[in-house]
Amino acid sequence: MSKIDRRKFLKSTATGALGTVAAASALSAPALAQTMPELKWRLTSSFPKSLDTIHGASDVFAKAVAEMTDNRFQVQVFAPGELVPALQAADAVTAGTVEMCHTASYYYWGKDPTFAFGTAVPFGLNVRMQNAWMYEAGGMDLMNTFYAKYNIHGLPGGNTGAQMGGWYRKEINSPDDLKGLKMRIGGFGGAVLQKLGAVPQQISGGDIYPALEKGTIDATEWVGPYDDDKLGFYKVAKYYYYPGWWEGQAMLHFFINKTKWEELPKPYQAIVRSAAHTANTIMLARYDALNAGALKRLAVSGAQLVPFSEAVLDACFKASNEVFDEISGKNADFKKVYEAMKVQRADNYLWFQLAEYTSDTFMMIQQRKKLI
């Protein structure tokens, strides 16, 4: 190639290349680069890997985000303690130390009891009602208006379903049996039980078994058959009561630093929202698929399955309403969300009595008759 030819070639190639770049610019490549940039986020979970269904919701979320963006947007999941302690996950999000966390909103009930509505409140909603409220009846907007005070944007991210009432060394036959009961339970449920004379204790997961074994505590709540079975509580406290009236469902959340959320390109916001939906459904489906097997193992191991009497539940319900009213009297945010939840609850428990409840009841009768 002569010098002249080389120049011509260079010239035409340059023009060609630049032309291509320009065309691509207008059409797609830079648009994509702007709206789908390479991004790495850190997510701190409040749940140890041993709680595999709950911790796993973060993995489901992160995997979905990575797959949907061809790995351009990666969310790295950290176990509690790797970056921040379990119960400081929300603070780390507020501060922007991490972009997001997976946590239970009610862990922060000490900052403001309004946080509780994001997860569970005593005698509140069941899973479907909580989803209906959050997604389609204004619940999520109400909570996000509140979370904004902490520079947090929240998205529902998993559910345990209705939890069990925990493990007890002695029977609870009447409300009187709650008096003096030293029980490992926190938050709202603990506040209600305290009203009834119980003594709520804060003990971290790994320390519960020895405390129960030694009799330092009389009872503990945990989650449900699948998680409880792993910790072996039935060996030291055989009465396994239900329901966990303080958690008729327990919704987990992805908390995202609000500034980071607002900076996200719209497609990534949509991807994060949708991945959270996936995690919300999958976590519950896992519990629902796993609990029955664990329940059978526990029954074989000698766990005594006992329902709380209506008298005990009545006393707890009344005490809960007192706590709701007391807090509502001094916290406007709490009152506003509580009033909204009550409307949802009354309406939903009216409707669910018909087709859902009678259908389930008939099938449970067949189950007891061993006909299914």
Among residue numbers 81 through 100, which ones bind a second copy (CB under 8 A)?
none
CA distance 117 to 106: 7
Select from 39, 79, 87, 132 the one that contacts a second copy (CB under 8 A).
Answer: 132
Q: Does 165 bind a second copy (CB under 8 A)?
A: yes
CA distance 364 to 153: 40
Q: Toward a second copy, which CB reaches closer, 24 or 148?
A: 24
- Residue showing tokens 């008096």: 179
Subset of residues 269 to 308 that bind a second copy, contact rule: CB under 8 A: 269-271, 273-275, 277-278, 280-282, 284-286, 288-289, 291-293, 295-296, 305, 307-308
Could you give the angle at the alpha carbon of 78 between the alpha carbons of 73 and 83, nearest 5°?
Answer: 115
What residues does 255 pair with on adjacent strands? 101, 154
Subset of residues 206 to 225 that bind a second copy, contact rule: CB under 8 A: 224-225
Among the candidate windows 104-112, 160-168, 190-198, 207-215, which touches a second copy by CB under 8 A? 160-168
For a second copy (CB under 8 A), the number of binding residues is: 105
Q: Toward a second copy, which CB reaches closer, 28 or 50?
A: 28
> Mind giving me the DSSP string for 307-371?
EPPHHHHHHHHHHHHHHHHHHHHH-HHHHHHHHHHHHHHHHHHHHTTTHHHHHHHHHHHHHHTT-
CA distance 154 to 114: 14
Q: Does 364 bind a second copy (CB under 8 A)?
A: yes
Among the candidate windows 27-35, 91-99, 202-210, 227-235, which touches a second copy by CB under 8 A? 27-35
Q: Toward a second copy, which CB reaches closer, 80 or 189?
A: 189
Select from 77, 86, 90, 127 the one that contacts a second copy (CB under 8 A).
Answer: 127
Select from 23, 26, 38, 329 the one that contacts a second copy (CB under 8 A).
Answer: 38
CA distance 189 to 109: 11
Q: Toward a second copy, which CB reaches closer, 93 or 272?
A: 272
Cα dihedral sign for 361, 366, 367, 369?
A: positive
For the chain, what is the total number of helices (H) and then of strands (E)? 15, 11
